[in-house]
Chain A
Amino acid sequence: MLTGLHRRRGLQLFLGLLTGIVFGFLLQKGGVTRYEVIVGQLLLVDFTVVKVMLSAVVVGMLGVHIMKSLGLVELHPKPDSIGSVVVGGLLFGAGFAAMGYCPGTLVGAVGNGYLDAAAGGAGVLLGAGIFAALYGRLQKRVLRIAQPRSLTIPELLNVNRWVVAIPAMVFILLLLWWIDGLGR
């Protein structure tokens, strides 16, 4: 673990900016800063978004789990309950279809000149603010519905991470191969 590097706050802010520049560059080159591409995915006529996401996941999974096995990195699984991702996912999905961008790609879309994404960004800020205002009440009950015992699938099954990672990567590659064959 490069803990010395992780503690250097100023340098980390710079690395964050650099990561974002590369991420934004890739999102624009992938076409996912476009309303047409996002809505086309949700209408199942253009599979660019799923192709980008699944290739990122399969490549990311391989490298991150190798580095984890070598003791070079720590994982950071999100602590959210099943209930909160079901409700949040449906709300998010509905808004995703109406806006035609997600929180990351809307910022890239503005960089691309797509100014309707800026109105969406203002909405995301308001939505995040509304959530913060509701949080005290939601936190006690709603956000804890179906909290899993452990966060990652290998921990839940009590198996080595590769027992899950290898089949997951094979599954994603097969899915990509099938989607590619659809020609969309």
Chain B
Amino acid sequence: MGFLTEVRWSPYVVGAGIGVLSWLTFLLSDKAIGCSTAFSRTSGMLGRLFRGRDRIESNPYYRQFPPVIDWEWMLVLGIFIGALLSALLSGDLDPRWVPPAWEARFGGAVLPRLAVSFGGGILVGLGARWAGGCTSGHGISGTLQLTLSSWIMAVFIFLGGIAAAMLIHGAPQSGGM
């Protein structure tokens, strides 16, 4: 079982594992892997607390995706547990506020990093719901089902992402970031 304590696995092994996992979700749960709908549901749960039950229950989006705990919500909770377990087993648990690559370019101050992460998160939440899915729901599950819109989504995620990353970090010089 030594492989469980390794820090990194080959990306091809990891990808193949996710592929096999997707067979099981279609077979056993009649579901495709996705993550961003759970964030919509949670935003509805928080909205019910802070903005009142009526505001949320009369919203057409929350009527379509009610703020309840479902299969996908449990999946997202599981991701936290699984990643924690993997990091603990390999000694790769590394609590920190600022990623080293960020620190090398923008310094180690915590607040700017959290602000940019939060702002990026708003765009990700808005974009994922605008498109109806994210890197997993469209990028993996949708493309493997040969959904036309998912293939286009995957291309535009990378077009937008590459452009923004080059703006933020500058185009990399040869030799790495």
Within the complex, the shortest CB–CB distance from B29 to chain A, in Å, comes to 5
Interface size on A, residues (CB 8 A): 129
Q: Any chain B CB within 8 A of the CB of A21? A: yes
Contacts of B1 in A (CB 8 A): none
Query: Helix, strand, loop or mixed for chain A's interface?
Result: helix
Query: Which of the residues B18, B93, B145 comes within 8 Å of A77, measured between beta carbons?
Result: B145
Query: Helix, strand, loop or mixed for chain B's interface?
Result: helix
User: Is there an interface contact between A80 and B125, defined as CB atoms closer than 8 Å?
Assistant: no
User: Is there an interface contact between A25 and B134, defined as CB atoms closer than 8 Å?
Assistant: no
User: Is there an interface contact between A129 and B43, defined as CB atoms closer than 8 Å?
Assistant: yes
The answer to whether A52 and B124 touch (CB under 8 A), given A6-B29, A30-B8, A99-B117, is no
Interface size on B, residues (CB 8 A): 130
Query: Which of the residues A34, A52, A122 comes within 8 Å of B18, measured between beta carbons?
Result: A52
Contacts of A114 in B (CB 8 A): 94, 96, 99
Interface core residue of A79, A81, A121, A125 (most chain B CB under 10 Å): A125
Query: Which of the residues B9, B62, B146, B177 comes within 8 Å of A39, measured between beta carbons?
Result: B177
Contacts of A92 in B (CB 8 A): 123-124, 127-128, 130-131, 134, 156-157, 160-161
Known: A21-B82, A63-B20, A129-B46. 16 other contacts (CB 8 A): A12-B71, A16-B72, A28-B92, A40-B101, A56-B19, A59-B19, A74-B30, A85-B132, A89-B131, A92-B123, A95-B120, A95-B122, A104-B35, A104-B135, A123-B122, A132-B47
Interface residues of A (CB under 8 A from B): 1-3, 5-6, 12-36, 39-40, 42-46, 48, 51-64, 67, 72-82, 84-117, 119-133, 135-136, 138-139, 143, 148, 151-154, 156, 161, 164-165, 168, 176
Interface residues of B (CB under 8 A from A): 6, 8-9, 11-12, 14-33, 35-36, 38-40, 42-44, 46-47, 59-62, 69-87, 90, 92-102, 113-166, 168-169, 171-172, 176-177
Query: Can you name 23 A-B residue pairings with CB atoms under 8 Å?
Result: A2-B30, A15-B29, A20-B76, A20-B82, A24-B82, A25-B82, A27-B14, A30-B11, A43-B166, A54-B15, A76-B145, A80-B149, A81-B149, A89-B127, A93-B161, A95-B164, A104-B76, A108-B83, A116-B97, A120-B120, A128-B39, A152-B146, A153-B146
